[in-house]
């Protein structure tokens, strides 16, 4: 059993009562898999009209009397001590209300770290924040300026003079590798996997490839930079935040400031993109501290540069993948080892080595990853953590092996596609990876690909096609709760402290609740994004939809029980047990005799009630104890490479996804396409430029850090198998992160097919192709 499973089993007793029997291992599938009315449709986002009209209020837009604006001064060394801090000019500058430094900042505890077993925390590192003169990374905040306007704050920030006693800092990856450490576990999996004598099998195999793949540091660039509007009222802390973890942020801030959990209120109804970055970083903590010190509300809006200095990035990786096969292409050994950076104070794992454990039925495995500890800002989670860089290495290696074998790359995957978990032997809950390949191959026209590289030409352009597998595990967070309230009119109102960062959370759960409760869509509302609502874990790990779905399902079961109790004997439903009724037509009806029906409004009216509320909870994800549960995809790319400049132009991208049932075709297509565009950026342009002499990030603007722009993005086709997963709520698995995985490998493989050049180092810039 993995550590995740151990952790879950440990928590099972507390929540077992809330686990719907249908999702216990071996249980029957969710009935809504086949009874769908609103689900599966093309519902537009419920938050769309407000966003288009500008009525949706983001964290930096919340109006507040007497606001002060914050600007940050960042350290320019990676390690050492502040020797002298001259804030006199800043303090005297126009509009400045306060300069906060370690000398006057309130006492604060270190942030409790986020974790799979600590869903009520949100911290990404465990360092003290502005409590002493120590500098621990290049970019750490050394002073916070608070002024009447943002411009005044920014100006005053330029007037702060800092002298440092610098110490030798560890900032070089190559040097750090020598003293790398090997953690026991990655995320919650055991790190080292040594199964079936892989090193011997590799040495003896007929056909093998063995190469090192590297991926660079990447930084987050959501359209909305991090922001918070913060105020203290009567000893309580109120934070209007841009976060994908309202409860985690509230819980952490309570610990940091020594408050009761209920004394911190975090609201975040809209988030302009998260991707893993919108957790708790120093800016909210410093903003809250400054608001406490001044007694005035504070607005923190990070500039792009401050974001790159304060919000971690995805670590660079160096991954060796060695694959051995027999002459028929059957994998004999899969070796995957490598390095990433994870400072000791950093919480986030980049589990690239988890990728190759689930996809292919290799006879043996030798897998382990190591971390380099550097004096850098803590890492962040970034869409598809682990699998995004991991698939680049594994899936390029598979392409190299196919070429070495003289075999079609899809055929090689077909021969090796795992029919069960290749390590644990657990059966898949549902898996149709090769059907995704078939769908995608037909759509892109894979038969036009030439096996021999460099054979297709159009003037200076060399044309090629490539493919790669994407993958991401299923999970569901225990403890996620929703409240369903039926009002006197018989309408349903769903509420949970869940998150909307662009993916359509409320939209899809509204579809779900409508179908679950037998109501038309316009009689269901969904409220999310506020820590005063029932607990929900983070919007992360592609887990939120399944977690909320499980909670709504559990709540609906309780609702039926309560309604039957309330209905009493003077009802067409009299004498029926809760298990003998179902939701339909705005009420309950007998399963046996559908003519026996009473509406919610009628039941509440007869009982003289204005409303009825129940809370349901997503229990422990016991299904993952018994089943191997992963979403998979087949990514295809057709592109051209100039033989004059080395420039790559991507002509087409196709993503075929096997993620269980798709709940909303429109929002799902957006998720997949958005993920694939992030993958495109990773493949072609994204690269954080870190000055290894100083540990300073140089690429702190969108002019220096290149995300794909409109003209970089080709036509993208997304397809899905839509085969229900009988072991998940609604038959669906997560879709938020898988889109990014596999894309960079598909592009690199297409570049090889076009040119015969194998680039193993991302991004695929033209200097590597000339």
Yes or no: say if 344 and 136 are a contact pair by the CB < 8 Å rule. no
**Closest approach of Cβ 519 to ligand MOS, in Å?**
31
Give whole-number Cα distances, 494 to 52, 308, 485, 619, 736, in Å: 24, 37, 6, 18, 22
**Closest approach of Cβ 717 to ligand MOS, in Å?**
24
**Closest approach of Cβ 384 to ligand MOS, in Å?**
7
Output 274 or 616, the one with its CB closest to ligand MOS: 274
Please report whether residue 281 would count as binding ligand MOS according to CB under 6 A: no
Question: What mask of x and - would describe binding to ligand MOS in positions 215 to 254, judged by CB under 6 A?
Answer: -----------------------------x----------
- Which residues 498-557 are close enough to bind ligand MOS by CB under 6 A? 540-541
Tokens 């603007």 belong to which residue? Answer: 701
Span interacting with ligand MOS, options 28-36, 103-111, 269-277, 595-603, rule CB under 6 A: 269-277
Output 228 or 738, the one with its CB closest to ligand MOS: 738
**Closest approach of Cβ 244 to ligand MOS, in Å?**
6
**Closest approach of Cβ 277 to ligand MOS, in Å?**
8
**Closest approach of Cβ 250 to ligand MOS, in Å?**
18
Q: CA 529, 532, 537, 541: dihedral to nearest 10 degrees?
A: 10
Span interacting with ligand MOS, options 271-279, 433-441, 508-516, 596-604, rule CB under 6 A: 271-279
Yes or no: say if 7 and 189 are a contact pair by the CB < 8 Å rule. no
Yes or no: say if 323 and 401 are a contact pair by the CB < 8 Å rule. yes
Output 178 or 223, the one with its CB closest to ligand MOS: 223
Output 315 or 753, the one with its CB closest to ligand MOS: 315
Cis preceding linkage at 763, omega within 30: yes
**Closest approach of Cβ 142 to ligand MOS, in Å?**
29
Output 340 or 385, the one with its CB closest to ligand MOS: 385
Give whole-number Cα distances, 163 to 140, 142, 166, 174, 235, in Å: 14, 11, 9, 29, 36
Rg over alpha carbons for the chain, rounded to the nearest Å, is: 27
Catalytic residue, from 395, 617, 687, 737: name it. Answer: 737
Span interacting with ligand MOS, options 104-112, 270-278, 418-426, 752-760, rule CB under 6 A: 270-278
**Closest approach of Cβ 218 to ligand MOS, in Å?**
12
User: How far is the C-alpha of 192 from the C-alpha of 387, rounded, in Å?
Assistant: 17
Catalytic (active site) residue 611 = no
Yes or no: say if 320 and 335 are a contact pair by the CB < 8 Å rule. yes
Output 381 or 583, the one with its CB closest to ligand MOS: 381
Span interacting with ligand MOS, options 268-276, 337-345, 664-672, 739-747, rule CB under 6 A: 268-276
**Closest approach of Cβ 699 to ligand MOS, in Å?**
21
Q: Which of 246, 719, 718 is nearest to 505 (CA)?
A: 246
User: How far is the C-alpha of 348 from the C-alpha of 381, rounded, in Å?
Assistant: 6
Please report whether residue 726 would count as binding ligand MOS according to CB under 6 A: no
- Residue 660, strand partner residues: 732
Range list of H helices, 593-647: 600-606, 623-626
Span interacting with ligand MOS, options 273-281, 481-489, 683-691, 756-764, rule CB under 6 A: 273-281
Output 274 or 464, the one with its CB closest to ligand MOS: 274
Please report whether residue 274 would count as binding ligand MOS according to CB under 6 A: yes
Span interacting with ligand MOS, options 272-280, 310-318, 469-477, 560-568, rule CB under 6 A: 272-280
| Out of 272, 276, 287, 504, the residue judged to bind ligand MOS by CB under 6 A | 276
Helix (H, G, I), strand (E, B) or coil at 435: helix
**Which tokens sit at 624?**
């993952």
Helix (H) or strand (E) holding 51: helix 48-53
Output 276 or 356, the one with its CB closest to ligand MOS: 276
**Closest approach of Cβ 390 to ligand MOS, in Å?**
13
Tokens 């079609």 belong to which residue? Answer: 408
Yes or no: say if 718 and 653 are a contact pair by the CB < 8 Å rule. no
Q: Which residues contact 289 (CB under 8 A, 6 or more apart)?
A: 100, 105, 106, 108, 130, 144
Which residue is closest to ligand MOS by CB?
Answer: 276
Output 124 or 364, the one with its CB closest to ligand MOS: 124
Cα angle 371-628-747, degrees, rounded to a multiple of 5: 60
**Which tokens sit at 577?**
């047990």
Yes or no: say if 209 and 404 are a contact pair by the CB < 8 Å rule. yes
Output 188 or 293, the one with its CB closest to ligand MOS: 188
Helix (H, G, I), strand (E, B) or coil at 155: helix
Yes or no: say if 385 and 353 are a contact pair by the CB < 8 Å rule. no
Output 60 or 382, the one with its CB closest to ligand MOS: 382
| Out of 275, 281, 371, 461, the residue judged to bind ligand MOS by CB under 6 A | 275
Q: Which of 246, 223, 214 is nearest to 314 (CA)?
A: 214
Question: What mask of x and - would describe binding to ligand MOS in positions 731 to 750, judged by CB under 6 A?
Answer: ------x-------------
- Which residues 88-147 are close enough to bind ligand MOS by CB under 6 A? none
Q: Which of 755, 639, 745, 753 is nearest to 211 (CA)?
A: 745
Question: What mask of x and - would describe binding to ligand MOS in positions 375 to 394, judged by CB under 6 A?
Answer: ------xxx-x---------
Burial 639-650 (b: 16+ CB within 10 A, else e): bbbbbeebbbeb
Q: How many CB atoms lie within 10 A of CB 66?
A: 10
**Closest approach of Cβ 758 to ligand MOS, in Å?**
29
Total number of residues binding ligand MOS (CB under 6 A)?
11
**Closest approach of Cβ 172 to ligand MOS, in Å?**
27
Output 540 or 708, the one with its CB closest to ligand MOS: 540
Number of H helices, E strands in the chain: 18, 33
- Residue 500 per-residue DSSP state: -
Tokens 């409004």 belong to which residue? Answer: 601
Q: Which residues bind ligand MOS (CB under 6 A)?
A: 244, 274-276, 381-383, 385, 540-541, 737
Active site residues: 737
């Amino acid at each position: 059993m993995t550590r995740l499973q151990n952790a879950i089993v440990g928590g099972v007793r507390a929540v077992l009562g809330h686990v719907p029997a249908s999702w216990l291992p071996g249980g029957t599938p969710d009935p809504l898999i086949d009874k769908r009315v609103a689900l599966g449709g093309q519902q537009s986002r419920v938050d769309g009209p407000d966003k288009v009209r500008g009525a949706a209020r983001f964290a930096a837009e919340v109006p507040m009397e007497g606001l002060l604006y914050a600007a940050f001064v960042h350290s320019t060394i990676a390690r050492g001590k502040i020797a002298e801090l001259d804030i006199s000019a800043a303090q005297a500058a126009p509009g400045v209300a306060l300069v906060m430094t370690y000398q006057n900042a309130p006492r604060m505890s270190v942030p409790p770290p986020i974790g799979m077993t600590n869903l009520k925390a949100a911290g990404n590192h465990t360092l003290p924040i502005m409590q002493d003169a120590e500098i621990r990374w290049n970019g750490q905040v050394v002073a916070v300026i608070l002024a009447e306007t943002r411009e005044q704050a920014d100006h005053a920030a330029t007037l702060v003079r800092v002298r440092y006693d610098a110490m030798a800092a560890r900032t070089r990856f190559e040097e750090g590798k020598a003293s790398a450490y090997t953690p026991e576990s990655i995320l919650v999996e055991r790190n080292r996997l040594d199964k079936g004598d892989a090193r011997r099998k590799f040495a003896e195999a007929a056909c093998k490839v063995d190469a090192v793949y590297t991926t660079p540091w990447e930084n987050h660039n959501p359209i909305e930079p991090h922001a918070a509007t913060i105020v203290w009222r009567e000893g309580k802390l109120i934070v209007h935040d841009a976060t994908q973890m309202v409860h985690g942020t509230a819980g952490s801030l309570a610990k940091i400031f020594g408050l009761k959990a209920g004394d911190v209120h975090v609201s975040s109804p809209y988030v302009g993109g998260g991707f893993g970055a919108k957790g708790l970083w120093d800016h909210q903590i410093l903003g809250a501290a400054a608001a406490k010190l001044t007694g005035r509300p504070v607005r923190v809006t990070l500039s792009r540069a401050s974001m790159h200095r304060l919000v971690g990035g995805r670590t660079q990786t160096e991954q060796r993948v060695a694959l051995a096969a027999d002459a028929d292409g059957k994998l004999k050994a899969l070796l995957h080892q490598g390095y990433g950076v994870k400072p000791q104070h950093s919480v986030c794992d980049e589990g690239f080595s988890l990728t190759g454990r689930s996809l292919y039925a290799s006879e043996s495995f030798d897998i382990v990853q190591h971390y380099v500890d550097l004096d850098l800002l803590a890492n962040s989670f970034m869409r598809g953590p682990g699998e995004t860089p991991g698939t680049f290495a594994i899936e390029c290696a598979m392409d190299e092996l196919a070429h070495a074998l003289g075999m079609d790359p899809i055929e090689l995957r077909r021969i090796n596609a795992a029919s069960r978990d290749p390590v644990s032997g657990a059966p898949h809950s549902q898996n149709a990876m090769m059907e995704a390949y078939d769908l995608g191959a037909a759509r892109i026209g894979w038969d036009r690909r030439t096996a021999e590289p460099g054979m297709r030409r159009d003037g200076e352009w060399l044309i090629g096609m490539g493919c790669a597998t994407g993958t991401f595990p299923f999970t569901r967070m225990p403890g996620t709760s929703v409240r369903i309230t039926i009002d006197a009119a018989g309408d349903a109102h769903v509420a949970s402290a869940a998150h909307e960062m662009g993916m359509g959370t409320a939209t899809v759960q509204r579809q779900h609740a409508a179908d679950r409760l037998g109501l038309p869509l316009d009689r269901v509302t969904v409220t999310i994004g506020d820590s005063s609502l029932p607990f929900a874990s983070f919007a992360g790990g592609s887990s939120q939809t399944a977690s909320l779905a499980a909670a709504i399902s559990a709540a609906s079961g309780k609702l039926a029980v309560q309604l039957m109790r309330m209905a009493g004997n003077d009802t067409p439903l009299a004498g029926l047990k809760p298990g003998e009724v179902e939701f339909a037509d705005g009420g309950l009806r007998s399963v046996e005799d559908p003519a026996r029906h009473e509406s919610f409004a009628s039941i509440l009216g007869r009982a003289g009630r204005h409303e009825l509320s129940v809370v349901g909870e997503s229990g422990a994800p016991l299904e993952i104890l018994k089943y191997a549960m992963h979403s998979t995809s087949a990514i295809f790319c057709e592109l051209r490479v100039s033989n004059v400049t080395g420039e790559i132009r991507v002509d087409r991208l196709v993503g075929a996804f096997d993620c269980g049932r798709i709940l909303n075709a429109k929002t799902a297509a957006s998720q997949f396409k958005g993920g694939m565009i992030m993958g495109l950026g990773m493949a072609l342009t994204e690269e954080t430029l870190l000055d290894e002499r100083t540990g300073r990030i140089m690429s702190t603007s969108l002019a220096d850090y290149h995300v794909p722009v409109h003209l970089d993005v080709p036509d993208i086709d997304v397809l899905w198998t839509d085969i229900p997963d009988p072991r998940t709520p609604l038959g669906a698995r997560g879709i938020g992160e898988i889109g990014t995985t596999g894309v960079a490998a598909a592009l690199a493989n297409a570049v090889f097919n076009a040119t015969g050049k194998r680039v193993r180092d991302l991004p695929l810039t033209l200097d590597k192709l000339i």
